[in-house]
Amino acid sequence: MVDIALPVAAGYVPPSLQRGQLVDVYALDATPSGNQPSVSNAPDPSAQPEDSPASDVVTVVVRAAVVQLIAGRADGALSVGSSTVQVVISVDADQAAGIFAAIAGRDLALAVRASVSRPNGADEDGNQPIEGPTPATPTPAAPTPATPTN
């Protein structure tokens, strides 16, 4: 596994995003590749624009990646935030080159999956709760009467 830092526009990072959650990463194209007008083939202004399929604009780059770190997010009423949030995700090492190629020069968006990566009951560090019986509340010892000494 390797960690990859992704620069994501603040508006494309869900405010509920937390470390340990699973996210899907999408690359966004401002203009679909087949619909850019050329100088010699300018579009007819009277023609109706064709709807391009979402797959021409949005590409899934990573599915179900674990969020390791979120940096640059504005927290609090008086903080001055950046327009870009750095989100670090973990992926298999053999996926890294393909991910970098897919995101080059494109805006990114994140979608948080409903489930988190850690098992139920684990804390943020992945520690499991202690299993076993609940410890009994200790009962205070009753005072013992003093024995007279003669």
Q: What is the pLDDT of residues 93-129, one digit of tens each?
A: 999 999 999 999 899 999 999 854 455 555 554 544 5
Q: CA-CA distance, 21 to 61, in Å (whole number)?
A: 17
Range of the domain at 13: 2-29+54-76+83-113
> For residue 63, what pLDDT band results from cuts at 50, 70 and 90?
very high
Rg of the chain (C-alpha set) = 27
Residue bearing tokens 């003093």: 146
b/e per residue, 77-100, with b = 16+ CB within 10 A?
Answer: eeeeeeebbebbbebeeebeeebe
pTM of the predicted protein model: 0.58
40 burial level (CB within 10 Å; 0-12, 13-18, 19+): exposed
Q: Which secondary structure element, helix H or strand E, spans residue 98, and what is its range?
A: helix 96-103
| Residue 135: inside a domain | no
Give how many domains the chain has, as a whole number: 1
pLDDT in tens, 32-45: 554 444 434 334 44
